[in-house]
Structure 1
Amino acid sequence: MALLANASGRNNLIAFFAVLLGLALVLAYVFTGGEETLTPPPAQPELTADNQEEVSQVAPEFDLVRISRGGTGVIAGRMAAGADVALFANGVKIAEVVANEDGEWVIILDEPLEAGSVELNLRATDKATQESTEAENVVVVSVPERETDRFVERRQNGVVAVLSPKDGEGASQVLQKPGVAAFAEVGESLSVDTIDYGAGSGAVVTGRSLPRVDVRLYLDGQFVNSIRADDSGRWSIALEGITVAPGNHIIRVDQTVGDGQVQLRVEQPFNTGEPIDQSLAEGGVFVRPGNTLWQIARQLYGSGVRYTLIFGENSEQITDPDLIYPGQVFKLPPKS
């Protein structure tokens, strides 16, 4: 009997709490107007100026350029995954490809590039937003002259491809050199590839060496700066605060090992002409010692490849675009 009484008491207690729970649910339903109360989902972060950069589109980039003497070749680079990448040669679209899931793309040039100087540019379009961006750098390719069945130029004159900032500011990078040794090259591991200079200071020298070695740069025998080459052996040194006066100069580069012992050394003579007044871009220009058509076009028109405009305007006195002489006065086509 005692066990039955205890069991009955427990059952009554459980029933009592069940009634209280049911009453609480009824009251909650009444006071909320019969609507369910749901926990709101966490707020989504707003797109602000701070985090908008994370989803901004990436500009297309050149990674590899390999062009044969016949003008065909392979060009590869990077862009956001799934984007359409178009390749332009002197402003004309010649190929288009879609970047893969890793953002890599490859273009095979079946139709050869025209002989002479060709400026390659990239434009990419995001399929979702239809927004387009252009590469910050262009590649200028020099393809040997050729006829239908033979090359006009000697075999030693191979293809040169140089990556340069589109705005003309900053260092250039040689992507492809002819098969023969460069003028400034001694040995296999050290070379001066480009010397970019404008009016006054701001010159930049780039080249190649053994990977991860210290490179020292001298201008006319005076030490300028040193830097460590990257994992691929490329290096770039700016002549900050140094004015490169018009005239003949010599760049010297030392490749050092261990405790600073010089392993290899190269010297590259170069000549800087008088600064060109950009206000004369519509009119004429007087050729001074050290001037080249490429330099004049780059300073006045923003791109060295546009030297062909000056060449065409003055064909009666320029027989070879590589040979212009101090004292010549060239007519200049207007900027367009």
Structure 2
Amino acid sequence: MMKNRAGLLALLVLAIATILMVFFVMPRISDDGKDNAPTTASGDAAKTPASEPAKPAEDLATVATEKMGRLKAEAEKAAQALVSLFADGKVPAAEAYAGAKAEAEKALAALAALDVPEALEASLKETMTAARGNAEKALALLKTLPSDPAAAGAAIGTVVDALAGKAVTAPEAPAPQTEAPATTEQPAQAEAPATTGPIVPRFDVLRVEPDGSAVIAGNAEPGAKLEILDGDTVIFQTEVGISGDFAVILDKPLSPGDHSLQLRVTGKDGKPVTSEEVATISIPENGNGNLLAMVTRPGEASRVITAPETVNQADKKARVPAEETPAAQTAEAPQATAEPQNEATAQQPTEATKPAPAPEVQVSAVEIEGDRIFVAGTAAPGSAVRAWADDALIGAATADNTGHFVIEGTTALAVGDHTIRAELLDADGKVLVRASVPFNRPEGHQVAVVAQSKTAGAGQPEAMVPLDRATFETMRGSVGKAFGILQGLFADGKKPAAEEVAAARSATEIGLQSLIDYRLGAGVDSDYAQFVTQTAARARNALEALKALAADADAVREGLPKVAELINAVLEPLPAAAVAEAQTTAEKPAAQAAPNASTAPAAEPQAPAPAAEPAQAPTETAADAPKTIEQAPLTESKNTVIIRRGDTLWQISRRVYGLGVRYTTIYLANANKITNPDLIEPGQVFQVPHDALPNAEELHRKRLKGETID
């Protein structure tokens, strides 16, 4: 019993202690924790200002400067890494080039996106803005580089220059096509001080992307205001630096469609000067498809400057030296081809030239625009030709290396009958032979009349044969010269730069392709036609062998011997059976008239007034009358155009069909006259179909891929 009481007492004490703990002690501990919490929080709050003081303005400038320095260093490092791949003329592997280009693009994009806080002082803001602007320019140039490392190497340096804030001059990559026009213009500019003439702005670089982004570089009067015109609209303006070189990136991409860009500068005298060159650009819809950018200049064949990366390598090569190589060779190539022919025919009796069934000068077409008149015709290459409308002197010109000429002047011709006379002159300005052709001037501001190829006489079709041959032989000479340059790059164990090899190689490929595409006119003898066909087949073999070589210089060096054998076959002399008398007839006047190019045109401005010349004509006829060729009357044509200085198929197509890309319609309609759609000659007369071919644009794409169109 006592034991039970003691146990119950112990339990009671334990229960009381538990109650006290639960209801009194634990709540007390909880209340103490709550009382301490505000103190801790307030203490933390009090500590925060002390540990994180407000950031001073100086720190903002420091952070911005450090960020700019870091991004700039990364961009410079990436750009230099890309450049180093091309050191000592090396051409990197495509994978290495693509990787380095991607890294450089990433680094430049980061610097181009640099944020410039408004709170910074003016000098720092200016520095950061300049760094960002340089990165934007460098990035734009980087994006325009071709994907092929062999074609991109020469232009890599412009990216580094732009990033460093230097004035970006013409990249070396397109130099083969732009340097030649530049050097031909320099003498004229050197003489400028004597005449105080203005410096005409020019294009050196034109790079266009399918989305319309464009980079334009060139040269203009230092310190002048430069405007880029698209038609009549100013799309960009800046000030030319003290060097005269400029490089700009258009603020807004060009819209899809055709564009015609010109440069206009306004100097200190306030007089605007517009470039003679015109950049014609076609931007595809939605950034997909084919684009074309070409530059035309009066007196020179159009030259294709750039095209999108979707264009294959063959086309990219074709646009570099296609026009410049023939231009540099016209004085030399005819000599190389003409001499063997003269040797082959020198043993023939002079009677070969006495019978003259074919005229040495011929009027092909006359085009009239108001009071302006254009006379196109053919004569022996290098001949000096003078043209008259009735008794009014129109002007004079020299037949080009293909035998075409175009003479333009101003004279008012009323509706009705008139006569055009074209006279071939010797070195003293004496008339050697004259072609006379009547025509009836139709009503209208712009009209054209053309020669009747079928009824002009039996001799006239043959008169065109020597011109066809001169063209073909000039083309063969161009191939030989271009390939000779390519071989010379490797002479004596030399290791040429990648851009040199690319330029000479592409010039050779272009020449071979021209021979493949060449079509003879009507009336050519079978022996010569067979020779042309055989040469075209050999040119195709040589072109395939050359294109099969890798892009690096070592591969080209190893493959040259085999290609040389094929090129030699292409340049094989004309067989005796193919040397016709008509060619001898054409070459002899050419040799006689060669000196006339400088003397006859120089004497022409001193000629008496048009009324005085007819007084000489009767005397000339009575005493020592030159041979006069009476051509059949010219007939009106509503679908004929005379090619003038600076004309291109692209521009004609845009004017007639609304889109330049439809030029293939005109090309195919005149295939026997056009050896290269990008190189048409002043004085040629083309038929322009009323409607464009339904597949004209598809044919253009085929041609860009290097495929033959017919």
**TM-score with structure 2 setting the length:** 0.26
RMSD value, Cα: 4.9
Q: For 1:1-336, list aligned pairs within 5 A.
A: 53=194, 55-126=196-267, 128-143=268-283, 145-147=284-286, 151-153=287-289, 157=290, 159-165=291-297, 167=298, 169-179=299-309, 180-182=312-314, 193-194=322-323, 205-206=326-327, 223=337, 240-243=400-403, 251-252=475-476, 253-254=479-480, 255-256=483-484, 257-258=487-488, 265-266=508-509, 267=512, 268=514, 269-270=517-518, 284-285=638-639, 296=641, 299=644, 304-312=650-658, 320=662, 322-323=664-665, 326=669, 329-330=689-690
Gaps of 5+ in 1: 1-49, 196-203, 209-214, 226-237, 287-295, 332-336
Supply the distance in 1 between the matched residues of 2:521 and 2:232 (Cα, whole angstroms).
29
Deviations 1:12-49 (A, max 9, x none): xxxxxxxxxxxxxxxxxxxxxxxxxxxxxxxxxxxxxx
- Are residues 93 and 241 of structure 1, via their aligned partners in 2, closer, same or farther at CA, if it must alter by over 3 Å? same
In structure 2, the residue corresponding to 1:95 is in which secondary structure? strand
Higher relative contact order (CA 8 A, sep 6+): 2
Q: Which amino acid aligns with 1:223?
A: T
Which residue in 2 is equivalent to 1:6?
none
Q: Which amino acid aligns with 2:313?
A: A
Supply the distance in 2 between the matched residues of 1:297 and 1:114 (Cα, whole angstroms).
31
In structure 2, the residue corresponding to 1:223 is in which secondary structure? helix
Larger Rg: 2
Contact 1:118-1:140 at 8 Å conserved across structures? yes
Q: Which amino acid aligns with 1:305?
A: Q
Gaps of 5+ in 2: 1-190, 340-381, 383-398, 405-463, 492-503, 523-633, 670-686, 692-710
The structural deviation recorded for 1:328 is 7.3
Supply the distance in 1 between the matched residues of 2:213 and 2:315 (Cα, whole angstroms).
26
Supply the distance in 2 between the matched residues of 1:137 and 1:306 (Cα, whole angstroms).
16
Supply the distance in 1 between the matched residues of 2:663 and 2:521 (Cα, whole angstroms).
16
Supply the distance in 2 between the matched residues of 1:133 and 1:272 (Cα, whole angstroms).
43
Contact 2:200-2:220 at 8 Å conserved across structures? yes
Q: Which has the higher helix share?
A: 2
Q: Which amino acid aligns with 1:309?
A: R
Supply the distance in 1 between the matched residues of 2:313 and 2:242 (Cα, whole angstroms).
39
- Are residues 320 and 218 of structure 1, via their aligned partners in 2, closer, same or farther at CA, if it must alter by over 3 Å? same
Supply the distance in 2 between the matched residues of 1:134 and 1:297 (Cα, whole angstroms).
25
Supply the distance in 1 between the matched residues of 2:654 and 2:249 (Cα, whole angstroms).
27
Identity among equivalent positions (%) equals 18
The structural deviation recorded for 1:279 is 10
Supply the distance in 1 between the matched residues of 2:646 and 2:401 (Cα, whole angstroms).
26
In structure 1, the residue corresponding to 2:314 is in which secondary structure? coil
Q: Which amino acid aligns with 1:243?
A: G
- Are residues 163 and 152 of structure 1, via their aligned partners in 2, closer, same or farther at CA, if it must alter by over 3 Å? closer
Supply the distance in 2 between the matched residues of 1:54 and 1:108 (Cα, whole angstroms).
34
- Are residues 279 and 138 of structure 1, via their aligned partners in 2, closer, same or farther at CA, if it must alter by over 3 Å? farther
Deviations 1:191-232 (A, max 9, x none): 76249xxxxxxxx93599xxxxxx98589xx8379xxxxxxx
The structural deviation recorded for 1:74 is 1.1
The structural deviation recorded for 1:297 is 8.4
- Are residues 137 and 218 of structure 1, via their aligned partners in 2, closer, same or farther at CA, if it must alter by over 3 Å? same
Contact 1:58-1:79 at 8 Å conserved across structures? yes
Contact 1:79-1:124 at 8 Å conserved across structures? yes
In structure 2, the residue corresponding to 1:172 is in which secondary structure? strand
- Are residues 84 and 320 of structure 1, via their aligned partners in 2, closer, same or farther at CA, if it must alter by over 3 Å? closer
Contact 2:201-2:275 at 8 Å conserved across structures? yes
Q: Which amino acid aligns with 1:330?
A: H
- Are residues 191 and 164 of structure 1, via their aligned partners in 2, closer, same or farther at CA, if it must alter by over 3 Å? closer
Contact 1:172-1:206 at 8 Å conserved across structures? no
Which residue in 2 is equivalent to 1:290?
none
Matched length: 221
Contact 1:192-1:207 at 8 Å conserved across structures? no
- Are residues 183 and 87 of structure 1, via their aligned partners in 2, closer, same or farther at CA, if it must alter by over 3 Å? closer
Q: Which amino acid aligns with 2:322?
A: D
Contact 1:61-1:135 at 8 Å conserved across structures? yes
In structure 2, the residue corresponding to 1:161 is in which secondary structure? strand
Which residue in 2 is equivalent to 1:24?
none
- Are residues 105 and 206 of structure 1, via their aligned partners in 2, closer, same or farther at CA, if it must alter by over 3 Å? same
**TM-score with structure 1 setting the length:** 0.50
Deviations 1:42-95 (A, max 9, x none): xxxxxxxx9953744211111211111111121111112210011112332211
- Are residues 57 and 311 of structure 1, via their aligned partners in 2, closer, same or farther at CA, if it must alter by over 3 Å? same
Deviations 1:72-129 (A, max 9, x none): 1211111122100111123322111100122222221131223343221111101x21
Q: Which amino acid aligns with 2:214?
A: G
Supply the distance in 1 between the matched residues of 2:192 and 2:663 (Cα, whole angstroms).
50
Supply the distance in 1 between the matched residues of 2:243 and 2:328 (Cα, whole angstroms).
30
